[in-house]
Amino acid sequence: MPKIVADVVERALATYAEAFLGLLLASTSGLTDISTLRAAAVAALPTALAVVKGAVGTRIGHLTAAWIPARKKPEQ
């Protein structure tokens, strides 16, 4: 798997886990009333945005998913 794809997949999985766990914690603390299935579906939205951001980042930066340009080109 190319390094860029692995980078975007890692960022997407991390975003999904953070969003899903955040919704579950908010639900159990009484801040919101949301089912586990709905939390999983809602967490997919920021994940999709993370994938789009990563794809755009490959066009902006030095062949990485980050939007901030590197000071030097990374080794491939």
The full set of domain ranges for the chain reads 3-60
Contact between 54 and 65 under an 8 Å Cβ cutoff? The reply is yes
Q: Which residues of 12-43 are buried (b: 16+ CB within 10 A; e: fewer)?
A: beebbeebbeebeeebeeeeeeeeeeebeeeb
Torsion-angle region of 4 (φ positive above 0: left; ψ -120 to 50: alpha; else: beta): alpha
pTM of the model: 0.69
pLDDT > 90: percent of the chain: 17
Q: Which pLDDT score, from 0 to 100, does residue 67 have?
A: 64
pLDDT in tens, 41-66: 889 999 999 888 888 877 776 666 66
Provide the pLDDT for residue 27: 84
pLDDT over 90 (residue 72): no
Q: Is the pLDDT of residue 17 over 90?
A: yes
Q: How many CA atoms lie within 13 A of 63 on its CB side?
A: 7
